[in-house]
Amino acid sequence: MVILVVEDTPAVMECLVAGLELAGHEVVEATTAAEAFEALDFVGSDLGGVICDGLLPFRPGHGVAIWGAEVATHARKRGVPAVVLSARDDIVAHCRLEGLPTLLKPAGIPEILKALGAPCVTG
């Protein structure tokens, strides 16, 4: 399954990508909301899920941030399962009020994949 990971912290991105690949998934990376929206349009029907950070820069070098919930909602409207990850209680609460699957960081790969409804295949 192809999974889009949207995360602006390099160390977190690295851990997510490594774990997802070990679980048998192909990963497409985005570090901003703009990249995520572009990837959603480009990858299209091949995309099996989206894992999105709770708060993202819209574009590199801009102070404007958007809620990861916007990216997740956009994905879900396209029929793509999405889960939001955040270390901030306020973002988790907001996303849950919006009806989005949301996990508090740190979350393990099996927990994230379960929230997406994706298989966790290990070697």
pLDDT digits (tens, 9 = 90+) for 10-57: 999 999 999 999 999 999 999 988 899 899 887 766 889 999 998 887
Strands, E assignment, 64-118? 65-67, 82-86, 102-104
| 6 pLDDT higher than 90 | yes
Angle in degrees, CA 89, 94, 99, rounded to 5: 125
What's the CATH code of the domain at 75?
A: 3.40.50.2300
Q: What is the DSSP letter of 98?
A: T
Domain residue limits at 6: 2-116
**Residue 56 host element (H or E):** strand 55-57
Is position 123 within any domain? no
pLDDT of amino acid 22: 94
The tens digit of pLDDT for each residue in 74-113 reads: 898 888 999 999 998 888 888 888 888 999 999 999 999 9
82 found inside a domain: yes
Q: How many domains does the chain have?
A: 1
Evaluate whether residue 55 is within a structural domain.
yes
In a domain, 121, yes or no: no
- The yes-or-no verdict on residue 122 having pLDDT over 90 is no
pLDDT at 74: 86
Does the bond joining 119 to the residue before it have cis omega, within 30 degrees of 0? Answer: no
